[in-house]
Amino acid sequence: MKCVKNKNAIWRGSDIDSGAAILTNTLRLKTNLNCQSCVATVKPFLDAESTISHWGVDTAAKDKILTVEGERVEQETVAAAVRKAGFHVIGQAEPLVAAVRSPAAPSVEPSVTYYPLFLLVAFLTGVVALVELRAGSVVWGRAMQNFMGGFFLTFSFFKLLDVRGFADSYRMYDVVARKIPAYGYVYPFIELLLGAAYIGGFQPFATNLATVVVMSISSIGVIQSLREKRKIRCACLGTVFNLPMSTVTLIEDTTMIAMAVAMLFVGSH
């Protein structure tokens, strides 16, 4: 079997011999598969269904269309497989009786890079440095407080651009969001509040303690994913950028924990 990616869809099926077209029955279904992480999660369940020969998800479409091909494939079967992955088939979308699939183009993977993350950290560091220079002296407690405030505000901004997409991606690895999906929707606002608290100097001890708790919980899910060598998307910058889960994500979380712990003992100023 091989995977072929066509625009926003990921197809699964048998190798096509000599470029011959294949006639199959086709279902087009509305779903709540919002991103590639959702597609990656549902993939094992759809792949395991013997009546499905090929399938794909157009995550850019309004109704997140899942296209399924097979000789005897039924909507109930597909819905059950999707449900096992924690998602839902909402209904039919322009059902087709049959479709002819021509040989697909070679797979082209989306651009995966940490450049946006590194650039963002560099910008935050530069802004904090300029603030300290303008103040006339470097106060490390104040510098860390401003950096963490900018960090949380910026990261919450990207998550809030697509809260639903972030929540779906986040529950792929976060231990709390996995059991309580609503936590994924609340998390961007938690970061927003932490960022505002750091910048505003509100209750430094409580703010730092909350940061240690929140980021420690997040780190547990990251560590589990790294140990299991799961190839999933990191949701730290929401769904705007395609950042893979790696040790970079863990370093990001543990750095924020270390800074918060330091500020708990040293103080904000």
Within this chain, do residues 58 and 139 fall inside the same structural domain, yes or no?
A: no
Q: Is residue 37 part of a domain?
A: yes
Within this chain, do residues 205 and 259 fall inside the same structural domain, yes or no?
A: yes
Statement: residue 139 has pLDDT above 50: yes
Residue 251 CB neighbours (<10 A): 11
Within this chain, do residues 78 and 172 fall inside the same structural domain, yes or no?
A: no
Within this chain, do residues 93 and 158 fall inside the same structural domain, yes or no?
A: no
**Pair of tokens at residue 125:** 């560091």
Q: Is residue 107 part of a domain?
A: no
With beta carbons less than 8 A apart as the criterion, state whether 5 and 64 touch: no
pLDDT tens track for 26-49: 888 889 888 877 888 888 888 888
pLDDT tens track for 72-98: 788 888 888 888 888 888 888 765 444
Within this chain, do residues 122 and 201 fall inside the same structural domain, yes or no?
A: yes
Q: Give the side-chain half-sphere CA count within 13 A for 156.
A: 18
Q: Is residue 108 part of a domain?
A: no
CA end-to-end span of the chain? 60
Within this chain, do residues 161 and 94 fall inside the same structural domain, yes or no?
A: no
- The whole domain housing 233 covers 115-266
Q: Is residue 106 part of a domain?
A: no
**Pair of tokens at residue 43:** 């993939």
With beta carbons less than 8 A apart as the criterion, state whether 19 and 69 touch: no
Statement: residue 4 has pLDDT above 70: no
88 or 19, greater pLDDT = 88
Measured in degrees and rounded to the nearest 5, phi and psi for residue 93 equal -130, 105
Of 71, 101, 131, the position where a domain reaches its end is 101
For the four alpha carbons of 237, 240, 244 and 248, in that order, the dihedral sign comes to negative
> Domain total for the chain?
2
**Surface-to-core class of residue 149, CB atoms within 10 Å of its CB (0-12 exposed, 13-18 middle, 19+ buried):** buried
Q: Is residue 110 part of a domain?
A: no
What proportion of the chain, given as a percentage, has pLDDT over 90? 30
Statement: residue 110 has pLDDT above 70: no
Within this chain, do residues 130 and 213 fall inside the same structural domain, yes or no?
A: yes
Within this chain, do residues 145 and 97 fall inside the same structural domain, yes or no?
A: no
Mean pLDDT of all residues belonging to the chain: 79
pLDDT at 87: 87
pLDDT at 3: 37
Of 101, 123, 147, the position where a domain reaches its end is 101
Query: How sure is the predictor about 267, in pLDDT bands with cuts at 50, 70 and 90?
Result: low
244 or 26, greater pLDDT = 26
**Surface-to-core class of residue 155, CB atoms within 10 Å of its CB (0-12 exposed, 13-18 middle, 19+ buried):** buried
pLDDT at 75: 86
Q: Is residue 109 part of a domain?
A: no
Residues whose CB falls within 8 Å of the CB of residue 222, separated by 6 or more in sequence, listed in order: 173, 245, 249, 250, 253
Within this chain, do residues 92 and 124 fall inside the same structural domain, yes or no?
A: no
Within this chain, do residues 127 and 88 fall inside the same structural domain, yes or no?
A: no
Residue 132 CB neighbours (<10 A): 16
Within this chain, do residues 13 and 43 fall inside the same structural domain, yes or no?
A: yes
CA distances from 193 to 48, 175, 202 (A): 43, 21, 10
pTM of the model: 0.60
Which residue has tokens 């091909």? 69
What CATH number has the domain bearing residue 71? 3.30.70.100
Alpha-carbon distance of 178 to 26, in angstroms, equals 32
Within this chain, do residues 152 and 213 fall inside the same structural domain, yes or no?
A: yes
Q: Is residue 38 part of a domain?
A: yes
Of 101, 131, 150, the position where a domain reaches its end is 101
Alpha-carbon distance of 40 to 88, in angstroms, equals 15
Q: Is residue 158 part of a domain?
A: yes
Alpha-carbon distance of 129 to 136, in angstroms, equals 11
Instruction: Name the least confident of 13-17, 140-144, 181-185.
Output: 13-17
